[in-house]
Structure 1
Amino acid sequence: MITLLDYGAGNVRSVINAIERLGETVMLVNSGADIDRAERLVFPGVGNFGALMHTLRDKQLREPLVRYLHSGKPFFGICVALQALFESSEEAPDEPGLGILPGRVQRFTCDLAIPHIGWNGLKMHQASPLFQGLAGNEKFYFVHSFHVAPASRDDILTTTDYGYEFVSAIQRGAMVATQFHPEKSGRAGLRLLENFLAGNREAVRPNACPQTTVLAKRIIACLDVRANDRGDLVVTKGDQYDVRDEGTVRNLGKPVELAGDYYEQGADEITFLNITGFRDFPLQDMPMLDVLEQTSKNVFVPLTIGGGIRDFTDRDGRFYSALEVASRYFRAGADKVSIGSDAVEIVEQVLKTGQATGLSSIEQIARVYGNQAVVISIDPRRVYVDSPEAVPHRVIETGFPGPNGERFCWYQCTVKGGREGRPVDAVTLAHVCEQLGAGEILLNCIDKDGTNSGFDIELINAVRAAVTIPVIASSGAGCAEHFLEVFTKTNAEAALAAGIFHRKEVPIGAVKEFLTGKVEIRPV
């Protein structure tokens, strides 16, 4: 029996699924007495440090947790649960940590994109039974803006490089905690969890640990999900956002099955985009909730869900806030939510008034779950102009002149699946959304969608230069060479594709094999 401390925030379903996949039974903590009775405790912390500590105190779980940590019984903390073991955090200076370990939590101070999102390696500083059966050169999934800074090096288990060396795991007796997410780290992460659950005591130090770790470029499989004309939930793909072929919705497979297949092929993340009209359903009946729940049982890499993350009133007259919608998706198995059209409306309002309200979906979700949980999906199209002064937008000089020889263009944001253009450009949208609390940009391009002609390098460079958060390049991939181009000609942290994977024109494994030795990737 594994006792799991679920304090009510973020995606713990994947941790439960991973533990059950490994043959154990999970009991959730409902009171401090449950912690006192626990023999093995797993604590998957997610989101904001202050919100976590406030909830532990409010639910009267803080003192029982401290007692357990001093008991010497097995403990596994994940992400913010590692940070909670220390005395304080820059993320919430007024909320003291548990104080089990001396030291504090600080924000990254490097020039790289923050949050640190993706697959990175580990450098071992002491032997541990956690690493039995692991080679040492595996990569694990990180998603965080803050890291621990211990006052003593005695408890450091691993470190990782991201701009500089930071502590990525600690170990003191039977207490271990990791900044990375083993439940989202594929087979290597499952093996590490299995070693903890099995109570292995033989400490090992893998032989192949790197001297310097490097964050891998991510290959993301995207599944556009909607109901077809018969009402079946299918994965489809559009050409410049048109998903119909001779009047019929393209059916490229079932979402849960395809996601599982892409996980086995080596996808670093899976993104679901809900492009259909499920948004007036009662939230408990949302088909995408079931898709996430079923997928997370067998897919142990990060899952993102987009579409309908906004305030809405369902057909029964029940109002749901965007935060409530996002919360349900997180509880169903999502790690991140993607906000599209609503982000355009939010930014338009900010530009109009000159200030944020603090009440937008971006701000509310980031405040509770952390900015790493909020992805902004931008759907722009090129608009050519004669000069930079022609429009009040961020204009670039292009190497691909317009129909009348124009040497300049701006990228107009669209809403409603690309059907409606809005008077705000993609560069400004990305910049403002970062200020509001977004942690990542998913950058599409209507002009490139379905063309197989490669990513829009000019667009990606323009947006990436305007933000300090990671950017996912999307739209236009037609061959493995296009992934190499986007990773060598831009600073995009990830690249996403859909059609070429769905139609099996270019398998994910073939992309990774081609990139091996050219850019840093996570091996299949």
Structure 2
Amino acid sequence: MISLLDYGAGNVRSVRNAIHKLGFQLTEITKPDDILAAERLIFPGVGAFGAAMSRLAALGYLEPLRAYLAAGRPFLGICIGLQCLFEGSDESPDVPGLGLIPGRIRRFDDGRLSVPHMGWNGIRRERDVPLLADYDGEKLYFVHSYHAEPTPANDEWILATTDYGVRFVSAVQRGQVAAVQFHPEKSGAAGLRLIERFLTGDRGPSRPSPGVAARRASDSPTTRFAKRIIACLDVRANDAGDLVVTKGDQYDVREAGEVRNLGKPVELAQRYYDEGADEIAFLNITGFRDFPLADQPMLEVLRRTSENVFVPLTIGGGIRAFTDADGRHYSALDVADEYFRSGADKISIGSDAVATVEQVLARGGPDGTSAIEQIATVYGNQAVVISIDPRRVYVDASEASRPGVIETALPGPGGERHCWFQCTVKGGREGRPVDAVTLARICEWLGAGEILLNSIDRDGTGSGFDLELVKAVSDAVSIPVIASSGAGGVEHFAEVFARTDVEAALAAGIFHRREVPIAAVKAHLRSLGIEVRH
């Protein structure tokens, strides 16, 4: 009996789908007694340490879970499922963990690196066991702001470590109890292989390999963090009512009066997964606003995609409070929850973020009611992406000192040498007085974990990313930034990674039309020594 401990923490649908994809049946934990009845227990989770432990306590799961672990029965923890095994976390200082492994969970504090640690990284095997056999050189997907520290007290547990500014624990095992900080259900074929080994009982002894102690004491090779290549699918209903992937030029998706139809969303997502995309983003650019939430078409797209696509999925568009045609009100948290349960790993907030920042500026601070704050509190910062749609506004030298203004190497139509990046809403049709740098900083303060940075000026041009915009925003925040809009060739991806500190680059039309294959982008980056996932 394989049992899943689903306590309501983010996207566990992908774990279910991975298990089913491997040909195994799954039993859900619905009451405390089910934990002790399990033969193999999987504890996945994303979000905040304190929220996870509080939820386990409220459901009455803590004591049977402790008893199951104390008996050394087959267990696989994922992400928060690893962190909760420790004594406590700096994320929630007053909340005790399960206390099975000595030590506390600490926040990454290297100011040179973005936090969360979000993306594909390697692991350094510290013990030779079948669970992680042949994983040298593999990239696995991580998304977390807090990490377990390796110490002499927990040395016997350490199965693998990873480097991100510091060396941290990325996998533990003692006997039949194991846990990983990365997400195997989001790590493609490599992750599915690990899950299958756990399910089949192919685990082996957890004795140190010969020479492990000496290797730890030496300067062992560091793991390398990869740049991400993301495929973006703009999804809307066409004039016939069919759900299609489209692409606009400066956000105009019509051609000869018809909505451009570049394929079906589920089929295209599968293609990009097969071609090596590191993540897939769905942006809902149509008006499914009056539907009851349960009937939102994008929910079905996510459900079907997550059955066969095992890399992170982001969904954007409509993540806000609304009242449907039947008069039922949904909070932004309600909407986000439904998307997470349908297969999303991250949600993207656009126009609503602009309105939130304007309100924060007007009242001088946050009040805890915004969608960003609420979703980040429940699901963790890494679950919230802010999608910014700015356009250049040129000003003369007299306005050079206003917030957000930069000196540009691309003069304006009147020869202006200064500009700022105005945030827009309603698909780029309406400009707002807040600039992109200010918006990004305040959204990070409110709890966002990533910025998706578009450019209305570059969208669909194929002329390359707006490097001045990308650098201005990425230099202003400490969370990861995705560069978007303008890619026309492999050289543009190399350029944005070489000249800015962004962690990821996104494209849409050139991938849809097969003008630039994802494999070609990665091959070019690899030839220049830029780390990417194979």
1:389 shift after superposition: 2.4
Residue equivalent to 2:125: 124
Write the letter of the residue equivalent to 1:515. L
Residue equivalent to 1:42: 42
183-192 or 194-203: bigger deviation = 194-203
1:113-169: CA deviations, max 9, x gaps?
A: 00000000000111122124x341100000000001253211111110101111111
Cα distance between partner residues in 2 of 1:383 and 1:218:
30
1:520 shift after superposition: 3.6
Write out aligned runs for 1:140-219 (5 A).
140-150=140-150, 151-202=153-204, 211-219=221-229
SS at match of 1:167: strand
SS at match of 2:231: strand
Cα distance between partner residues in 2 of 1:157 and 1:332:
32
Confirm or deny: 8 A CA contact 1:312 1:321 kept in the other structure: yes
Cα distance between partner residues in 2 of 1:185 and 1:4:
19
Cα distance between partner residues in 2 of 1:81 and 1:60:
17
Residue equivalent to 2:69: 69
Confirm or deny: 8 A CA contact 1:136 1:206 kept in the other structure: no
Task: Determine if the alignment matches structure 1 residue 515 to structure 2 residue 512.
Answer: no
1:202 shift after superposition: 4.0
- Select the residue among 451, 454, 471 that pairs with 1:441: 451
SS at match of 2:10: coil
Confirm or deny: 8 A CA contact 2:347 2:385 kept in the other structure: yes
Confirm or deny: 8 A CA contact 1:81 1:177 kept in the other structure: yes
Cα distance between partner residues in 2 of 1:392 and 1:400:
19
Cα distance between partner residues in 1 of 2:154 and 2:401:
56
Write the letter of the residue equivalent to 2:283. L
Residue equivalent to 2:84: 84
Task: Determine if the alignment matches structure 1 residue 55 to structure 2 residue 55.
Answer: yes
Cα distance between partner residues in 2 of 1:390 and 1:199:
65
Write the letter of the residue equivalent to 1:462. A
Cα distance between partner residues in 1 of 2:250 and 2:240:
23
Cα distance between partner residues in 2 of 1:169 and 1:127:
12
Cα distance between partner residues in 2 of 1:391 and 1:475:
27
Distance 1:34 1:478, change over 3 A: same
Write out aligned runs for 1:405-444 (5 A).
405-444=415-454
1:95 shift after superposition: 1.0
Confirm or deny: 8 A CA contact 1:124 1:157 kept in the other structure: yes
1:387 shift after superposition: 1.9
- Select the residue among 435, 449, 472 that pairs with 1:462: 472
Cα distance between partner residues in 2 of 1:493 and 1:387:
33
Cα distance between partner residues in 1 of 2:148 and 2:116:
14
Q: TM-score, normalised by structure 1?
A: 0.98
Write the letter of the residue equivalent to 1:38. A
Write out aligned runs for 1:291-306 (5 A).
291-306=301-316
Task: Determine if the alignment matches structure 1 residue 337 to structure 2 residue 338.
Answer: no
Write out aligned runs for 1:207-286 (5 A).
211-286=221-296
Confirm or deny: 8 A CA contact 1:214 1:520 kept in the other structure: no
Distance 1:310 1:519, change over 3 A: farther
Residue equivalent to 1:365: 375
Cα distance between partner residues in 2 of 1:305 and 1:468:
22
1:393 shift after superposition: 3.2
Residue equivalent to 1:394: 404
Confirm or deny: 8 A CA contact 2:185 2:311 kept in the other structure: yes
Any runs of at least 4 consecutive aligned residues in structure 1 with deviations exceeding 6 A, and if so which?
204-207
Write out aligned runs for 1:483-502 (5 A).
483-502=493-512
SS at match of 1:141: strand
Cα distance between partner residues in 2 of 1:87 and 1:226:
47
Cα distance between partner residues in 2 of 1:358 and 1:392:
29
Cα distance between partner residues in 1 of 2:293 and 2:460:
32
Residue equivalent to 1:110: 110
Confirm or deny: 8 A CA contact 1:388 1:396 kept in the other structure: no
1:93 shift after superposition: 1.0
1:47-93: CA deviations, max 9, x gaps?
A: 01001000110110000000110112110000011000011111111
1:332-361: CA deviations, max 9, x gaps?
A: 000000000000000001111111010100
Confirm or deny: 8 A CA contact 2:17 2:306 kept in the other structure: yes
Cα distance between partner residues in 2 of 1:53 and 1:498:
39
Cα distance between partner residues in 2 of 1:116 and 1:330:
20
SS at match of 1:187: helix
448-457 or 392-401: bigger deviation = 392-401
Confirm or deny: 8 A CA contact 2:176 2:203 kept in the other structure: no
1:467 shift after superposition: 0.3
- Select the residue among 459, 475, 481 that pairs with 2:485: 475
1:257-278: CA deviations, max 9, x gaps?
A: 0000000000000000000001
209-218 or 476-485: bigger deviation = 209-218
Confirm or deny: 8 A CA contact 1:129 1:196 kept in the other structure: no
Confirm or deny: 8 A CA contact 2:120 2:533 kept in the other structure: no
Give the RMSD, CA atoms, in angstroms.
Answer: 1.5
Structure 2, unaligned stretches of length 5 or more?
none
1:376 shift after superposition: 0.2
Distance 1:243 1:8, change over 3 A: same
Distance 1:201 1:436, change over 3 A: closer
Q: TM-score, normalised by structure 2?
A: 0.96
SS at match of 1:45: coil
Distance 1:386 1:206, change over 3 A: farther
Residue equivalent to 2:366: 356
1:198 shift after superposition: 1.0
Aligned length: 522
Cα distance between partner residues in 1 of 2:464 and 2:205:
48
1:206 shift after superposition: 13
SS at match of 1:212: coil
Structure 1, unaligned stretches of length 5 or more?
none
Task: Determine if the alignment matches structure 1 residue 311 to structure 2 residue 313.
Answer: no
Cα distance between partner residues in 1 of 2:107 and 2:147:
6
